[in-house]
Structure 1
């Protein structure tokens, strides 16, 4: 298996099934004997089919051998309760990045509180996809912003390496975005260390390409803060400082300030939960052009760091309200048609440079967002949204499959262009001169644009499910 397969390898194909378990009342000695007999470094603790925790050789060494705890005590005395876990539909890279960022060597795989497997560092040693994971670990361990910036400066090289290895475009952008997520969480931790414990719970969210896990070699920052409704006016000063520290740090690491000021440093986007709920309610009730634009951005929100429960209910409520409001949906459909593929008369491609972002991937991103809205799909990644629309029948099997193929073609062309620029010592961009394409490539790219245009037309005429 190649080193890049881990980018798309499902955890359920990587994990050790039927991991060694024992009950919480078993003795520490019994757990240690299980590990010694099986030559493993951990045992999972399960109580009546519910996953409770994990105990490792390191736990026993620290708390029994060095700590003096009796080996006849229950194993729950030394286990790590409710450890970090992942679902079986996670990717192998999710495991690797979690291990690197959180400094753990075992990740239980849990489905609805039921233990279904475990992935350890030993399971990953046969994979050599350590480049992105090393960047994640370096960021997580960075002592300051300057050290983080040195790490993120290596991202263009990673992008070129991944593209050159044939990694699918959504695997590349997922890896690039994972690094940005880690940078953000590290900056949040550094901010709290500098200004103290948060006065109330908060959640930092990303929107835009980071929210959709679609970052490439060119990314600004788009983010916001949702605060607990218990926040006071005095507390707002704390969160203004936190937002400034994180935003400045992101800028220093190459995630430049958003030209549209869609950042948590803008007081409008640093508000308590009740205010955010009123924002969404207002945009849905009165979908004027600004509301359409803002709703489009905010439907791509994804939690990055903090109290995730602040967003879970809001996301579900908003999707339900938006999907049931036919006028709002119609306005969102209209808004999604504003970015058109670069096709002229008789669907001819221009001889001028192509903008592979605004006339390439963005039209598909907009289509995916509308399909997700109509189907109340919580996924924010464009390809995941299209796949969900295909599975639920929001798009026909033929039309949906064609659109996904078209998106893959356009997004891959964009990344290949950026990788070539990086290899030639240039800054990556989104513009594609027509003379860099072969006749074959130009023909296929044109067909991809035609498919996108056709699906836009179908959606605009109320036939979005037709292919």
Structure 2
């Protein structure tokens, strides 16, 4: 193997989804890439040209332009381009040229299509969002409101420049809005402080009004990203205030645009795959709230958003398992790490704790079990540091009862099904959402099918599971209203998790049990239940549409909280919704309540 091929393999190991390929396949694919060296400002391809393959930047930068010459993307190392045109009709849908001296690898079209056909990770990555004409992740077509990174910081015109400088330093920003009340009258940048204060020897007590840029050009929140790009490029400015009805509501900077390009699920997965320390991983997962805002702002379907966010949690977990093995040595016997809860269902949002367990091979010795206890602690502590906080119910692999040999897992499920106590119902509900994350998957596959067959045949257990699924109810009040939380921090809010998506997830779990369906994802379970005849076509369609609305509004509310500078949570105030939105949300809750009632009466759930 020559040095060039070794270098290409090493590079591809840091790029998703190539990092998912088996070693032999990765080496083969690496040998298929054609290396090209481009000088700055060189055309790579233009709109309408036949594409020979897809392009991967190894070094340098590329600008991608639309048919009107508008800037679509600024790409850097490890970014791919040209794939959409190749997958559509083989013709370039954009124009691409280098911004600086660049090394660009080209994978021939026939090899690219073979990877799409053979490897699900490639199909998911390159087909993400296709078929949904309403979605976008391009800066140019997103609304400005979805690009604002944080709440705006401002000062009054008479603020001393020294105080303004301290404000920028403490907030780690490069500009301030200057406001008279809420009205924007100017902006102050770090460059202004350097050029107009330090360079001219002005006093630290000089009022900001003396050195600010007065009456700066601005955009409304309803403008598009392309407007920002055009203004910044044409006027050679790096800060653009956002104003609504005269009020200063945000600031967009070149750093924000770069951050947007750098935050995607694929980029986060890539960065996690290359992390060698938990602190590095935590720095990556800290970008998840911003990813949530971008995905929601790009009008992605809720199941796409939660799937992409869950993929990040899966990557964190697998990376932590690898780090644990690097520290402790190779596992002495086969094991499997599994997620349950929202991660198990691939439904994580911007706020998630950790729910996990381990299945250990039956041949494990007591010393082996000590090894896995240490591994579980390393992984669970790492997840907590990365923002996946410890489960308050201790449903984690660090608990001795959830880190056991396969035969004991089999005993657990047999006991829960044979004697469905309240605890057994709760535990079975959680464990029916298990999904393998890392290790030997066969340890679970046989156990899963055995358990589903055993449970579906036990009518008493099914009846108890139905009763358990009805404990969470939609928040419906009297006379077309909502039953909101009555006291505490979230008074007059709806819990969009426990009274929103959880009732649907509980219904879907029962349908999966009745139909012996192996899917863990709620939407997939509902679709599977319809296909298996567990619920009627009309009932399934109504419930899926209701679930889509509830889950989407939950995500939109979380994104709104992030944009306003708060942590995302699951609590929504109905007063924040329009009459139209309130009406449709209530109708969705009515559908869920109706399906709960049908399940209770049609399947004989115990009282």
Asked if residue 455 in structure 1 is aligned to residue 588 in structure 2, the reply is no
Counterpart-to-counterpart distance in 1, 2:120 and 2:475: 48
Which residue of structure 1 lines up, in the alignment, with residue 472 of structure 2? 339
Quick check: 1:188–1:305 contact (8 Å CA) kept in 2? yes
In the other structure, the counterpart of 1:258 is 391
Helix, strand or coil at the partner of 2:349: coil
- Greater RCO, CA 8 A, separation 6+: 1
Between the aligned partners of 2:527 and 2:545, the Cα distance in structure 1 is 11
Select the residue among 432, 451, 474 that pairs with 1:299: 432
SS state at 1:412 partner = helix
Change (3 A) 1:239 1:350: same
Quick one: distance in 2 between partners of 1:117 and 1:241? 31
The root-mean-square deviation of aligned C-alpha atoms, in Å, is 2.8
The alpha-carbon deviation at position 143 of structure 1 amounts to 1.3
Question: Taking structure 2 as the reference length, what is the TM-score of the superposition?
Answer: 0.58
1:109 to partner: Cα distance: 3.2
1:45-60 equivalences under 5 Å are 56=28, 58=30
In the alignment, which of 167, 172, 186 is matched to residue 305 of structure 2? 172
Q: Which residue of 1 aligns with 2:43?
A: none
Contact 2:137 2:298 in 1 (8 A): no
Residue pair 1:107, 1:120 contacting (<8 A) in 2 also: no
Residue 443, structure 1, aligned to residue 583, structure 2: yes
Counterpart in 2 of 1:243?
Answer: 376
- Alignment of 1:228 with 2:361, yes or no, is yes
Q: Does 1:354 align with 2:494?
A: yes
Deviations 1:385-419 (A, max 9, x none): 00111111111111110000000010001000000
2:115 paired residue among 107, 118, 121 = 107
Superposed displacement of residue 430, structure 1: 0.4
- The answer to whether residue 148 in structure 2 is matched with residue 140 in structure 1 is no
Task: Classify the secondary structure of the residue corresponding to 1:109.
Answer: helix
Matched, 1:390 2:362: no
CA distance in 1, matches of 2:441, 2:482: 45
Query: TM-score if structure 1 supplies the norm length?
Result: 0.74
Kindly indicate whether residue 508 of structure 2 is the aligned counterpart of residue 368 of structure 1.
yes
1:52-102 CA-to-partner distances (Å, cap 9, x unmatched) read 9787264599xxxxxxxxxxxxxxxxxxxxxxxxxxxxxx9xxxxxxxxxx
Please state whether the residue corresponding to 2:549 is helix, strand or coil: helix
The answer to whether the 8 Å contact 1:347/1:450 transfers is no
Separation in structure 1 between the aligned mates of residue 367 and residue 326 of structure 2, nearest angstrom = 19
Q: Which residue of 2 aligns with 1:16?
A: none
Matching residue of 1:325: 458
Deviation of 1:350 after TM superposition, in Å, equals 3.1
Gaps of 5+ in 1: 1-51, 62-91, 93-103
Contact residue 244 and residue 265 of structure 1 kept, 8 A? yes
Residues 1:406 and 2:519 are matched in the alignment = no
